[in-house]
Structure 1
Amino acid sequence: MNRQQTILKLRTHRLAVLLIDARQANRRTFEECAQAMGVSVEEYQSYEAAQAAPSLPALEALAFYLNLPLEHFWSQTTLSAQAAAPSDQVRKLRGLRNRAIGARLRQRRTQLEMGTEALAEKLSMPIENVDTFESGQNSIPLPQLELIAEALGLPIQELFDQHGPIGEWRTERELNEKFAQLPAKMKDFVSKPVNRPYLELAMRLSELSVEKLRTVAESLLEITY
């Protein structure tokens, strides 16, 4: 086997691993992925067995179907490896979030000048529960948290993670959704690095007061005429 054949075999096997991982991570069947790619089930299975490799158009169709960036199939990391978080990190994150939620509830209750006894009575729960929830010692079941937030006049959205990894993930998804709603021409303009100075200028202008914007506009008119 010459060098080119060796490289081809290695890349075919790597692609097979990524195909298997992508299908399993998205809980899809052979039939569903084959249909998405427009090939027979047998042909698709040959891709995962590294006996053959899909064409670029077929791979693009699968990436679209699985809502994955096409570049993933050149990645060195599987989806399962990316998704797996050590259990101790998850426990630590949950503990931090419990304390953050409890602190926000206590802050809101204090702002309302409401004692723990009054809140406990309003919620028909033992005062000890209020204390442990606000201290972050115990996780608050979601329906219970909703009732506490309502009693404090606090929108549940204010308790969502804003700065941690989950908060960053939510923010990124929201930004992507907003970007997807832009007109095609605006998306094209924003995505080109050469247009960055114009975007930065627009951002700076948006921070100016009405009076300063008027002054800038008048100056531009003087230059023009």
Structure 2
Amino acid sequence: MDNEQVLILRAKKLGVLIRDARQAAGKQIKECAEALEVSNYMFGAFERGEKSPSLPELEILAYYLDIPIKHFWANQVISEAPHPTEEIEMESFLDKRNRIIGVLLRNARNEKGYSLKELSERTDVPSSRISRYEDGKNAIPLPELEVISRTLDRSTYDFLDQQSQVGEWIVEQSAVQDFLDLPKELQDFLSKPINRPYVELAERLSHMSADKLREVAENLLEISL
């Protein structure tokens, strides 16, 4: 399957997930369009898969609908109606996020050693368009960002907001979802206060280098002998 077909299919699937999220939240197209500051027609085009929102627009939509951002990469619909959240300054947020994503994209391309022309040839996205994306002048439709990310050996999640109030919310929601995805036995273990020391120990160990972990293991072995 070539990149053009991938973009078309991804846009259609994304549209289904956007519609599902809106309906689960009990929102009208007009309300979501106003939240993103796009026309009703444009939001409808998002849902029909005729157009695709950018990652920052998806972040705003997830925040507005109070759903995990990972929903837009899921293979199933959601059912629980979320709660409304406070408003944010859309124009400022989108402008800043597009510029940040552009910088991250350029850094990833440079680290990979690709020129604009080479990246364009590998993704079928015009080099002039990629240049505008990197400059933060244009928002990147999510399907294109996914294709470019894969070509640069990056995950789309690498471009998610982690700093603004929306980013903090995304991190929080992702943490909750990750916990819910754990086996029930592990959820029960982590939920008991008596097990907190073990969790904290595991967290400290996770930040150690391989050499340091080996040293700890050797010391424990000496103690047990």
TM-score when normalising by structure 2: 0.49
Q: Point out the structure with max Rg over C-alpha.
A: 1
The alignment's TM-score, normalised by the length of structure 1, stands at 0.49
